[in-house]
Chain A
Amino acid sequence: ETGVTQSPTHLIKTRGQQVTLRCSSQSGHNTVSWYQQALGQGPQFIFQYYREEENGRGNFPPRFSGLQFPNYSSELNVNALELDDSALYLCASSPGLAGEVFFGPGTRLTVT
């Protein structure tokens, strides 16, 4: 059984550009969440998808958007990148809203 995978591993973008990060959930998991982790901080919740519908959102602006596909894989899109968007982006999946949460290794985004 494969765990949560994310791509790419690292990414460098320029301010103002757009970026798409991808995540494959663990098999059988219908819930996926995205987190942003700045250096030296704990992960901050961006949003969650449950069975392809957004099921909650943290304190992030609308330029952070997402999708969950029928196979429960997911994308995080960020428009109009800002320097402060530089962070580790973590995808997490779980078999439901209350189950143990499994995290991927993250995508390191650098905005210059």
Chain B
Amino acid sequence: DAKTTQPNSMESNEEEPVHLPCNHSTISGTDYIHWYRQLPSQGPEYVIHGLTSNVNNRMASLAIAEDRKSSTLILHRATLRDAAVYYCILRDPGGSQGNLIFGKGTKLSVKP
């Protein structure tokens, strides 16, 4: 399975935008880019996913590079509740398995 690279940690101020980067240079044409986050003492939760075009939902935006070798999760206004570990994951929906392969993710701290 293709792998992703993320910074170990990032810090943000409350109410400011946050850009979480992810590199996936070995991405295949059928891999979707998924983002999950894990709040303290909880299971991971889905944030957003995309294939080629940028995506927006109520939680975040996903900006995908034209060559698809990198992407950025954008939280438009960070809140204290956004403090979590964010995982960037590649997933092939046509694969025989639907499991997610997690790395260590980026631990986001939000300062008031």
Name A's B-contacting residues (CB within 8 A): 4, 31, 33, 35, 41-45, 48, 50, 55-56, 58, 90, 92, 94, 96-106
Contact = CB atoms under 8 A, between A and B. Distances in A.
B96 A45 contact: no
A23 to B, nearest CB: 11
Nearest to B105: A42
Contacts of B21: none
Interface string B35-61: 010000111111001000000000000
Contact of B96 (A56, A100, A101, A105): A56
Chain B residues touching A, majority SS: loop
A42 B99 contact: no
B44 A43 contact: yes
A106 B102 contact: no
Nearest to B101: A45
B43 A56 contact: no
Interface in B87-112: 87, 91, 93-105
B43 A33 contact: no
A33 B102 CA distance: 13
Given A92-B43, A106-B43, A56 B102 contact: no
Contacts of B49: 100
A33 B91 CA distance: 15
B98 A96 contact: yes
A43 B85 CA distance: 12
A41 B104 CA distance: 6
Contact of A58 (B41, B87, B93, B99): B99
Contact of A103 (B44, B85, B101, B105): B44
Nearest to B102: A42
A56 B103 contact: no
